[in-house]
Structure 1
Amino acid sequence: MHASGTAAVNGPFRTGYRRLVGFGIEVLRGQAQVDFLPSALTGVVFSVALFAAGWEFGLYGLTGTAVGTATARLLGADRDRITAGLEGFNSCLVAVGCAVFLGPHHPSTAVLALTGSAVVTILTGAAARILATWDLPTFTLPFCLTASAMTIAAPGFQRVWHQDAGPATLSRPAAGPTALTVTDLWHAFFANIGQIFFMPQWYVGLIFLLGIFLACRRAGVLACVGSAVGILTAWALGAPAEQVAEGTMGYNAVLAAMALCGVFLVADVWSLAYAVIGAAAATALSPALAALFAPSGGHTFTWPFVLVSLAFLAAAPAFPRLRRVTG
């Protein structure tokens, strides 16, 4: 009787434990999916990187991803997408973006991060249905829409906008020296990867890069290629060395290079060349969008990556040498 009673208690406990562990894995995969990687271990490394930048950013990242994943579960989203972490990466970016642009210590920021993480999950469903018409992925479009709306609207609400919001600033005109020092180069190389999560510290970008290589060496190489292309393009066009070094000019190039070679297009010499062109285009588009959003208080976020990658993927069927990844 005692044994059967214990088994009856342990059964639900084990089931609950397995569900909790499964949910944790989905959350970690959601963080890794910011860089197209369905790896829980990479998600752990990405969390370490965010916590290295500041405990608040690590907490916001995990919480936002968890809220987005939980919202998708509650609304009955496709189970395969949830398991792969595809319902968590946009909410991760929304939450971390709130912390960076609105200040992590304000209660209003926490409320907006939680709300935005849930709302962006709904926008993901809407974007997925619309873009499926052309067989295109959502990328970080739901995040861009949510974050742009929040940052543009924030100054209109006194309980939301704070003058000490954080280190993020509006785009500024090209000014200052353009010559890159050796220090600028290696800082930019790693910062380009960290800035995908809004983190300008080179050592944080290095941790992110290690996490990418841990999941997929090819993805790590493509991230390096994208970072190098972003630096070269920004320098060639005369971007200020300070902006290049802090990674704000090159992070969209990293995402574009990874997306267009190996993730959505079969990796070969043709898609590599296509990805390099896309990475350069995303870099060149960044100042244009910064100037467009600046008067309204918005930011570029990953808009250059989204717009360039959608256009390049939509064009890919016109070029027989480029093959879409299937399955």
Structure 2
Amino acid sequence: MGGHGAGAALRASSVGSFAEWVLRGIGQVFLQNNPLTGALFLLGISLSSWVAGVFAVIGTVCATGTAMLLGVPRDSLARGLFGFNGTLTAIDLTFYLRHDWHLLAFVVLASAASSVLTATLQNFLNSNHVPSLTAAFVATTWLFLAGLKQFANLSGSRTAVIRAHLPHEATPTAASLHPQDLLTGFFNGFAEVLLQSGVWAGIVILLGILVNSRISAAAAAVGSLVGFGTAWVLGFPVQVMAGGLSGYNSVLTLIALGGLYYLLSIRSALFAVFGGILSVVVSGALATVLAPVGLPIVTAPFVVTTWICLFAASSLTGLRPIHPDDAGTPEHNLQHAGRTWDSTEPHRFGT
């Protein structure tokens, strides 16, 4: 009883609340509002790279702290909605700068900027009943990576900035696909969402999703398989598929469309699979478009594909959309499906 009371007191304290917001922010990378899920994601990141794990915390803390200082509503902070873009931004920047104080300063600035961009996008998209997803991460990453080419004190520290090049046509590869490639590709599909790799990292991350929602975990698993299979049919290189690079956007797309922002049904499940397939095509298209400027696609295919599928909601009368403010887990959404719908707000649950 004493331990339980101490734990409750810690969670009720300012420090405990902020720590919970940070963990929820990490969990929201996969659209999961659960601190235990966030803790497992952090463990998965650290299994792949302890440096990435440290900077994931730094980025989430800076993004959440900035939002708190600027007066973001407490409900949004408590759901981690202003933390996850900082998580991803910080991890991504660790690939492009030498690990010194320049990187730390750049991460703090970029993570803070991600919170402002999150607010901007939420204000712009809310009237259309569409979530901002990881768009703030994508925009912040592109902005800060593009700037590296002009900053003399940073450009000399670059370690892996993509070299700008004209897009070239892919040629068939002679490498054959082995069962081991499917196994590693499947689990790397989860790890690569957090810019990591490794079967154990993928297993822990999938477990983290499962802790919060069995339906979302199933959607993520299908998404990884859909991404891998679509890439194989289209002729992606084997190393790309085995590395999870063909599946991670599909994983996120299936989670978003498979019961989260559309009520789960046979139609919405098939629509989610369609979205996962489309995300692979969008990945190829964006890789071609961004090649001349040397920027990575990161999670842009997920954002573009999911937005396409959600902006169409008012015309897709066979599907039942859910307003981002009302979206819980797919299980929660199904439990509340019997509530009447407000005819003036067809995306929202009625009272």
Confirm or deny a common fold (TM above 0.5).
Answer: yes
Find the aligned partners of 2:319 and 2:284 in 1 and give their Cα distance: 29
Change in Cα spacing, 1:15 to 1:284, as seen in structure 2 (3 Å) is closer
Equivalent position of 2:341 in the other structure: none
Contact (CA 8 Å) 1:177, 1:240: kept in 2 or not?
no
Question: After superposition, what is the alpha-carbon deviation per residue over 1:301-324, rounded to whole angstroms, capped at 9, x for unaligned?
Answer: 111110110010011221112111
SS in 1 for 2:94: helix
Find the aligned partners of 2:149 and 2:159 in 1 and give their Cα distance: 11
SS in 1 for 2:236: coil
Q: How many angstroms does 1:163 deviate by?
A: 6.3
Question: Which of the numbers 25, 47, 53 marks the counterpart of 1:58?
Answer: 53
Question: Which of the numbers 74, 78, 81 marks the counterpart of 2:76?
Answer: 81
Question: Which of the numbers 240, 253, 266 marks the counterpart of 1:243?
Answer: 240
Task: Give the % identical residues.
Answer: 31
Q: How many angstroms does 1:155 deviate by?
A: 2.5
- Counterpart residue identity of residue 300, structure 1: I
Question: Which of the numbers 289, 310, 314 marks the counterpart of 1:313?
Answer: 310
- Counterpart residue identity of residue 289, structure 1: L
Find the aligned partners of 1:164 and 1:154 in 2 and give their Cα distance: 8
Deviates more, 1:162-171 or 1:228-237: 162-171
Equivalent position of 1:92 in the other structure: 87
Question: After superposition, what is the alpha-carbon deviation per residue over 1:124-167, rounded to whole angstroms, capped at 9, x for unaligned?
Answer: 11111111121111011111111011112213223223566259
SS in 2 for 1:230: helix
- Counterpart residue identity of residue 145, structure 1: A
Question: After superposition, what is the alpha-carbon deviation per residue over 1:114-133, rounded to whole angstroms, capped at 9, x for unaligned?
Answer: 10110110011111111112
Find the aligned partners of 1:253 and 1:17 in 2 and give their Cα distance: 37
1:146 and 2:146 are equivalent in the alignment: no
Any residues of structure 2 matched to 1:80-229 within 5 Å, and which?
Answer: 80-103=75-98, 105-162=99-156, 165-166=159-160, 174-175=170-171, 176-177=173-174, 179-229=176-226
Contact (CA 8 Å) 1:177, 1:241: kept in 2 or not?
no
Q: How many angstroms does 1:55 deviate by?
A: 1.4
Find the aligned partners of 1:27 and 1:139 in 2 and give their Cα distance: 17
Higher helix share: 1
Change in Cα spacing, 1:66 to 1:314, as seen in structure 2 (3 Å) is same
SS in 2 for 1:177: coil
- Counterpart residue identity of residue 185, structure 2: A
Change in Cα spacing, 1:162 to 1:274, as seen in structure 2 (3 Å) is farther
Q: How many angstroms does 1:266 deviate by?
A: 0.6
Contact (CA 8 Å) 1:100, 1:198: kept in 2 or not?
no
Equivalent position of 2:32 in the other structure: 37
- Counterpart residue identity of residue 159, structure 1: N
- Counterpart residue identity of residue 49, structure 1: G
List gaps (5 residues or longer) in structure 1. Answer: 1-13
Contact (CA 8 Å) 1:29, 1:84: kept in 2 or not?
yes
1:27 and 2:40 are equivalent in the alignment: no
SS in 2 for 1:281: helix
Question: After superposition, what is the alpha-carbon deviation per residue over 1:198-252, rounded to whole angstroms, capped at 9, x for unaligned?
Answer: 1122321121111111111111100001001001110010111111111111111
Change in Cα spacing, 1:102 to 1:232, as seen in structure 2 (3 Å) is same
TM-score by length of 2: 0.85
Find the aligned partners of 1:241 and 1:169 in 2 and give their Cα distance: 22
Contact (CA 8 Å) 2:222, 2:251: kept in 1 or not?
yes
Change in Cα spacing, 1:215 to 1:167, as seen in structure 2 (3 Å) is farther
Find the aligned partners of 1:170 and 1:88 in 2 and give their Cα distance: 30
Equivalent position of 1:294 in the other structure: 291
1:72 and 2:67 are equivalent in the alignment: yes
- Counterpart residue identity of residue 237, structure 1: L
- Counterpart residue identity of residue 137, structure 2: F
Question: Which of the numbers 272, 276, 296 marks the counterpart of 1:275?
Answer: 272
Find the aligned partners of 2:162 and 2:205 in 1 and give their Cα distance: 20
Equivalent position of 2:252 in the other structure: 255
TM-score by length of 1: 0.91
Question: After superposition, what is the alpha-carbon deviation per residue over 1:65-108, rounded to whole angstroms, capped at 9, x for unaligned?
Answer: 011111111111121110011110011111111112334x1321
List gaps (5 residues or longer) in structure 2. Answer: 1-8, 327-351
Equivalent position of 2:340 in the other structure: none
Aligned length: 313
Q: How many angstroms does 1:16 deviate by?
A: 10
Find the aligned partners of 1:193 and 1:186 in 2 and give their Cα distance: 12
Contact (CA 8 Å) 1:178, 1:238: kept in 2 or not?
no
What's the Cα RMSD here? Answer: 2.0
